[in-house]
Amino acid sequence: MTFQLIRTGILNESFLEIDWLGYSSSVATIHHYLEKINGELTGWLHSPLEKNDDMLDSIQRIASEIKSKADVLVVIGVGGSFLGARAIQNALTPYFGTQENGIQVLYVGQNMSGAYIQQLLNSLKEKEIYVNVISKSGTTMEPALAFRVFRKYMEHRYAKEAQKRIIVTTDAEKGLLKKMAENSCYRHFVIPANIGGRYSVLTPVGLLPIAVAGVDIRRLLEGAKKAAILLKEENLELNEAYRYAVIRHALYKKGYQLELLATFEPSLAKLQEWWKQLFGESEGKGKKGLFPATVSYSTDLHAIGQFIQEGSPILFETLLHFKEITDDCQVPFDHRNEDELNYLSNRSFNEINAISKQGTAIAHAEGGVPVIQLELERLDAYHLGYLIYFFMKSCAMSASLLQVNPFDQPGVEMYKNKMKELLNISYVKFRH
Ligand code: PA5
């Protein structure tokens, strides 16, 4: 993976005048603190280095059973309990149709749309299904409501067999979902107590749906393991995750308010959603933090590109690019050349896309937008595993530099409580 910051078209970090020496001591202090507080939501730091064969074997066993008996896996979850799985699935499975050794994975429980849930149910009539309900707390309203609907649906449709077709992923001890799993003897996977929702994609939360979609979860974890080894380095100069965190922090201190994560492959749109939650929920507290936003190019170059180039100078951009994408398409030669595009014939779309990325970086940098470039060799499970760990590690450092807790989300809890209060009031009113 390569990593650089450019501005005004040249490789240049000096405009930021980063006090690398000053940062290196705060980074080392935070590094040691994060390493030390193991047990308090930093389990993800070391989990890729731990022996996990039993967990992987049982995930793969159940994934094979699901693939052999179902056409669709319905995943019920919200926030960290679904964004990671959907990100990897979308990034690594075909745009049209499903992966050769995988089945369709659909998601519900992320919204309160009656139309969405009803239309999903309608679409499943002719299909065999399994359900994987995922919630660490086991009490979140959106997935809990969706599970109530799907549990009834499964019981009605599969009678006793429903019990085999519902898989629960939740805490080992706490929560209503854990109790329901026990009462109904559902098979269940554990979300480690020391790994929070948005850091949980490499646990059964993400791994079961990802395996069912046909993605190689062992390669994914190998990539994460490589990152966990390389990014264990406390020296800021040698740790690219910490460098990314420091540059973001320095830009924030300089007055930039928004980081725009840009990609050049549409299949990465859901990965961007995962990234948005990771940084948004980890940093946005205490009236601090960069607002994480995303764009997908070329689409957004023709929509929001004007603003980025010439609008209010509030943002910097992080371009995420993969050098190799499995499929590609050649531009054909056409002797008529009415569209005057023969100069591009025999070049591939991916090649042209890479050049468009370079052009975008230079144009935006020349427009005064700081541009960070993250480049990975290939869009595959290994490199995505690496990238996910890279972002999680940067995020924990970045939030800590802001002096906020990277692992809580008091603002989300606030909304959950308010909604419950209002629902109770309207229930009481409705009854009288
Ligand atoms: O990152 C987090 O902790 C949150 O986004 C949660 O994942 C989200 O609120 C869902 O919570 P739960 O898994 O408890 O249903």
* Helix extents (H) in 72-203: 83-92, 114-123, 141-158, 162-165, 176-184
102 lines ligand 1 (CB under 6 A): no
Give percent of the chain with pLDDT exceeding 90. 85
Ligand 1 midpoint to CA 214 (Å): 25
Residue nearest ligand 1's atom 3 by CA:
197
Q: Is residue 28 part of a domain?
A: yes
Q: Please check whether residues 168 and 286 belong to one and the same domain.
A: no
Q: Are residues 211 and 225 in the same domain?
A: no
Gap between the Cα atoms of 207 and 281, Å rounded: 22
* Catalytic residue status for 321: no
Distance CA 265, CA 29 (A): 37
User: Is residue 14 assigned to a domain?
Assistant: yes
Q: Are residues 210 and 225 both part of a single domain?
A: no
Same domain (yes/no): 225, 267: yes
Task: Classify the phi-psi angles of 170: left when phi > 0, otherwise alpha if psi is within -120 to 50, otherwise beta.
Answer: beta
Give me the mean pLDDT over the 304-322 stretch.
94
In a shared domain, residues 231 and 208: no
pTM: 0.94
Lowest mean pLDDT among 14-18, 108-112, 369-373: 14-18
Whether 109 is in the pocket of ligand 1, judged by its Cβ within 6 Å, is: no
CA of 176 to the centre of ligand 1 (A): 15
Whole-number Å distance between alpha carbons of 64 and 115: 31
**pLDDT tens digit sequence for 76-107:** 999 999 999 999 999 999 999 888 899 999 99
- Residue 192: pLDDT band (50, 70, 90) is very high
Using 50, 70 and 90 to split pLDDT, how confident is the model at 3? low
167, 190, 215 - which closes a domain: 215
Is pLDDT of 10 > 50?
no
- pLDDT tens digits, residue range 44-53? 999 999 999 9
Residue 193 shares a structural domain with residue 267: no
pLDDT at 432: 54
222 residue type, one letter: E
Rounded to 10 degrees, the C-alpha dihedral 171/159/117/62 comes to: 50
Q: Give me the number of domains the chain comprises.
A: 2
Query: Between these two residues, 294 and 6, which has the higher pLDDT value?
Result: 294
How far apart, in whole angstroms, are the C-alpha atoms of residue 293 and residue 243?
20
Asked if residue 300 belongs to a domain, the reply is yes
Is the pLDDT at 292 greater than 90? The verdict is yes
Q: Are 290 and 254 in contact (CB under 8 A)?
A: no
pLDDT of residue 416: 80
In whole angstroms, what is the distance from residue 83 CA to residue 168 CA? 17
Q: What is the percent of the chain where pLDDT is above 70?
A: 94
Domain stops at, among 195, 215, 235: 215
80 lines ligand 1 (CB under 6 A): yes
- Give, for ligand 1, the residue of 83, 107, 194, 409 to mutate: max count of ligand atoms closer than 8 Å to Cβ: 409
Tell me, yes or no, if 51 is annotated catalytic: no
- If asked whether residues 233 and 119 sit together in one domain, one would say no
Q: Is residue 385 part of a domain?
A: yes
335 is catalytic: no
| Co-location of 25 and 52 in the same domain | no
> Measured in angstroms, how far is the CA atom of residue 79 from the centroid of ligand 1?
5
Same domain, 231 and 210: no
Q: How many helices (H) and strands (E) does the chain have?
A: 16, 11
Asked if residue 428 is part of any domain, the answer here is no
Residue ending a domain, among 215, 231, 262, is 215
CA dist 89 and 207 (Å) reads 10
CATH number for the domain spanning 330: value is 3.40.50.10490
Residue (of 88, 67, 69, 138) closest to 109 by Cα position: 138
Structural domain containing residue 62: 43-215
**Is residue 197 domain-shared with residue 325, that is, in the same domain?**
no
Among 102-111, 339-348, 419-428, which stretch is predicted with the lowest mean pLDDT?
419-428
Q: Extract the tokens encoding 160.
A: 């006793």
Q: What is the DSSP letter of 25?
A: H
Looking at the fold, whether 29 and 68 belong to one and the same domain comes out as: no
pLDDT digits (tens, 9 = 90+) for 127-137: 999 999 999 99
- Establish if 201 belongs to a structural domain: yes
Q: What is the pLDDT of residues 233-254, one digit of tens each?
A: 999 999 999 999 999 999 999 9
Same domain, 243 and 335: yes
